[in-house]
Amino acid sequence: MPGLYEQDVYLWAQEQAAALRRSAGARSNLPIDWENVAEEIESLGSEQAHALFTHIAIVIEHLLKLQSSPAENPKPKWKATVRRARLAIEHRLRRNPSLRREVPEMIAETMARVRQLVRDNLNDYNEQPKVDLDSLSYTEAQVLGDWFPPQG
């Protein structure tokens, strides 16, 4: 039976950091910087969450571009990028299943910033969005699944 570390690094890191902080009160003669060791272990879990957040932002960015950009040529590359990012998300969630509960918040948190990023990208190419970017949002199923905006 695999241990928690093999099942969910994120949850393992959170639990280990909490255990270290509790143990700090027992103060042994070992010269251990308990608080900083706990913070470093906690940061391991935070890195997993950050990587997941980054891949979610990439999916949202390219879904927005697919739905709003008048350009046709880059669309196959954007779809390929979405597929790669979804694969990375699937891997992160399989390795860190406790992060799944964070996904809706990550999607909500990134939408406004990514909309602005796409606006700026379109502006760089003197393109006007085909749809109002503020009217677009995506569900967890759309971000994580195999959904793509209808073309047309």
Task: Summarize the confidence of residues 38-47 as an average pLDDT.
Answer: 82
**Residues sharing a CB contact under 8 Å with residue 44, sequence separation 6 or more, in sequence order:** 9, 13
**Which residue do the tokens 């997993």 mark?**
48
Which residues form the domain of 113? 4-144
The answer to whether the CB of 130 falls within 8 A of the CB of 70 is yes
User: Is 152 part of a structural domain of the chain?
Assistant: no
pLDDT at 16 (0 to 100): 83
User: Is 24 part of a structural domain of the chain?
Assistant: yes
> Is the pLDDT confidence value at 37 over 80?
no
Cα–Cα dist 123/63, whole Å:
17
Q: What percent of the chain has pLDDT over 90?
A: 66
Structure confidence by residue, pLDDT tens digits, 47-87? 999 999 999 999 999 999 999 999 999 999 999 999 999 99
User: Is 149 part of a structural domain of the chain?
Assistant: no
Q: How many domains does the chain have?
A: 1
The answer to whether the CB of 67 falls within 8 A of the CB of 118 is no
pLDDT at 27 (0 to 100): 63
Comparing CA positions, the residue from 64, 58, 54, 61 lying closest to residue 92 is: 54
CATH number of 70's domain: 1.20.1220.20
User: Is 58 part of a structural domain of the chain?
Assistant: yes
pTM of whole model > 0.75?
yes
User: Is 39 part of a structural domain of the chain?
Assistant: yes
User: Is 151 part of a structural domain of the chain?
Assistant: no
